[in-house]
Amino acid sequence: MKDVALYALPGNETLARSLAAQIESPMQRLEVHRFPDGEQMVSMEGPLSGKAIVIVCSLNRPDAKLLPLIFAADTARDLGARHVVLVAPYLCYLRQDARFHAGESISAYSFGRLLGAQFDGLVTIEPHLHRLPSLSVVYPIPVRAPHSVAATASWIVQNVADPLIVGPDEESEAWIAQIASRIGAPSVVARKTREADRKVDVSLHVPAKFAHRNPVIVDDILASGQTMLATVGALVKAGFGSPVCVAVHGLFDGVSVDELIAAGAGRVVTCNSVAHATNAIDVTPLLADAVRDLLDSLPETP
């Protein structure tokens, strides 16, 4: 794209290079220097003046990334960028979307206002929306949030024979049905009871007519991993060997691949929205289309 330059915060270089190639725009260097006292400084390779700047930063474990991200956006604007857009393949702080107890912050709205003040647009993928009807409710800037259904379905078709698509909880039901419909496979959905952050109980009934099928558990986020572990256990108990675990965003904050394999999983696969050894589903084309569409919609002069 003309007059567009991409930058990657540390750890996001691989996806950013692929994105830069797909939208045919240069990737320029962004460095973060940490001083002995813990303060940080950002430096950005130029030129930036008159360009639309795209900053790529997946926001898993976000707190350490936030200040460099804000400094980069502010620096780009100070150096003459006409637009500054954030590509955050994984977008954080969406779970706390209501005040459940007196005095709690509603982090989804707070974070939305914070990023909305720094960027002219946001691109993410498969945001974890619970009660929120859309990202536009909490982000005061143009947003694009493509779904990973097609990419996930395509990977399953190419890698799993006779799949049975398994949703780990009721929230996944509509999403699971879309994937199953795309590939002409049956689906079942587990019933989850969360007793604590790291204690989950899953009940699952699989009709006997699906006994010959290969189960593929699909979830949007693999964070603590307790839901995925419990679903693997339920399938193994029901007589299914080596279910495949697929997640869009592999955070792996409370579970490892080895633990899932030890529980009975045959393979663990994620999208490349968060860099991890399990990345096998490329969502870069979806992000590239969204970036093009967003940049085309922005006014010539901000």
Residue 32 to residue 45: CA distance in whole angstroms: 12
Query: How many CA atoms are closer than 13 Å to the CA of 17, on its beta-carbon side?
Result: 5
CA dihedral 111, 113, 119, 120 (to 10 degrees): 130
Peptide bond into 285 cis (omega under 30): no
DSSP string, 157-175: HHH-SSEEEEESSGGGHHH
Q: What is the residue type of 241? A: G
Residue 224 to residue 52: CA distance in whole angstroms: 37
Which 8-state DSSP code applies to residue 273? T
- What token pair was written down for 73? 């956006």
Q: Which residue stretches of the chain are H helix?
A: 13-22, 63-78, 107-116, 149-159, 173-183, 226-237, 257-263, 284-297
Please choose, from the candidates 48, 275, 301, the residue with its C-alpha nearest in 3D space to the C-alpha of residue 284. Answer: 275
What pLDDT does 170 receive?
A: 85
Q: Which residues contact 273 (CB under 8 A, 6 or more apart)?
A: 15, 58, 89, 90, 125, 126, 248, 249, 283
Q: Which residues contact 230 (CB under 8 A, 6 or more apart)?
A: 168, 192, 200, 201, 202
- What token pair was written down for 185? 């496979």
Q: pLDDT by residue for the chain (302 residues), tens digit each?
A: 889 999 999 999 999 999 999 999 999 999 999 999 999 999 999 999 999 999 999 999 999 999 999 999 999 999 999 999 999 999 999 988 888 899 999 999 999 999 999 999 999 999 988 788 889 999 999 999 999 999 999 999 999 999 999 998 888 888 899 999 999 999 999 987 766 556 778 888 899 999 999 999 999 999 999 999 999 999 999 999 899 999 999 999 989 999 999 999 999 999 999 999 999 999 999 999 999 999 999 997 64
Please choose, from the candidates 222, 236, 238, the residue with its C-alpha nearest in 3D space to the C-alpha of residue 270. Answer: 222
Which tens digits make up the pLDDT trace of 80-100?
Answer: 999 999 999 999 999 888 888
What pLDDT does 197 receive?
A: 57
Please check whether residue 52 is in contact with residue 85, taking contact to mean a CB–CB distance below 8 angstroms: yes
Give the SS3 label for residue 178.
helix
What pLDDT does 172 receive?
A: 85
What pLDDT does 169 receive?
A: 87
Tell how strand 199-203 and strand 191-196 pair up.
antiparallel
Residue 202 to residue 169: CA distance in whole angstroms: 8
Q: What is the residue type of 212? A: H
pTM of this prediction? 0.93
Residue 232 to residue 260: CA distance in whole angstroms: 8
Q: 216: left (phi > 0), else alpha (psi -120 to 50), else beta? A: beta
